[in-house]
Amino acid sequence: MSETRSSFTADLHGKVALVTGASRGIGRAIAEAYAAAGARVVLAARKSEGLEAAAEAIRQQGGEALAVPTHTGRPDEVETLVARAVDTFGGIDILVNNAATNPHFGPILTAEPSHWDKTFEVNVKGYFYTARACHPHMKRRGGGKIINVASIAGVRPQPGMGVYCVTKAAVLMLTEVLAAELASDNIQVNAIVPGFIRTRFSRVLWETPALHDAIVQQIPQRRMAEPEELVGLALFLASSASDYMTGAALPIDGGLLIGYPSMPLP
3-state per-residue secondary structure call for the chain = CCCCCCCCCCCCCCCEEEEECCCCHHHHHHHHHHHHCCCEEEEEECCCCCHHHHHHHHHHCCCCEEEEECCCCCHHHHHHHHHHHHHHHCCCCEEEECCCCCCCCECHHHCCHHHHHHHHHHHHHHHHHHHHHHHHHHHHCCCEEEEEECCHHHCCCCCCEHHHHHHHHHHHHHHHHHHHHHHHHCEEEEEEEECCECCCCCHHHHHCHHHHHHHHCCCCCCCCECHHHHHHHHHHHHCHHHCCCCCCEEEECCCHHHCCCCCCCC
164 noted as active-site residue:
yes
State yes or no: pLDDT of 47 exceeds 60: yes
pLDDT for 259 equals 79
How many domains in the chain? 1
State yes or no: pLDDT of 121 exceeds 60: yes
- Model pLDDT for residues 73-98, shown as the tens digit of each residue: 999 999 999 999 999 999 999 999 99
pLDDT for 242 equals 97
Q: Which of 34, 127, 164, 260 is catalytic?
A: 164
State yes or no: pLDDT of 213 exceeds 90: no
Q: What percent of the chain clears pLDDT 70, i.e. is strictly above it?
A: 89
Is 63 within the bounds of a domain? yes
Is 104 within the bounds of a domain? yes
pLDDT for 38 equals 98
Assign residue 151 the CATH number of its domain.
3.40.50.720
Is 171 within the bounds of a domain? yes
Q: Which position has the higher pLDDT, 137 or 225?
A: 137
Q: What percent of the chain clears pLDDT 90, i.e. is strictly above it?
A: 75
The whole-number average pLDDT for the span 149-167 is: 93
Handedness of CA 44, 237, 89, 91 (dihedral sign): negative
Is 213 within the bounds of a domain? no
Least confident of 5-19, 47-61, 133-147: 5-19
User: Model-level pTM?
Assistant: 0.91
Is 125 within the bounds of a domain? yes
Q: Band the pLDDT of 9: cuts 50, 70, 90.
A: confident
- Model pLDDT for residues 174-212, shown as the tens digit of each residue: 999 999 999 999 999 999 999 878 766 655 665 566 666
Is 260 within the bounds of a domain? no
Domain that holds residue 117: 16-199+226-252
State yes or no: pLDDT of 1 exceeds 50: no
pLDDT for 186 equals 98
Q: Band the pLDDT of 71: cuts 50, 70, 90.
A: very high
Is 3 within the bounds of a domain? no
State yes or no: pLDDT of 2 exceeds 50: no
Q: Band the pLDDT of 256: cuts 50, 70, 90.
A: confident
Average pLDDT of the chain is 90
Is 244 within the bounds of a domain? yes
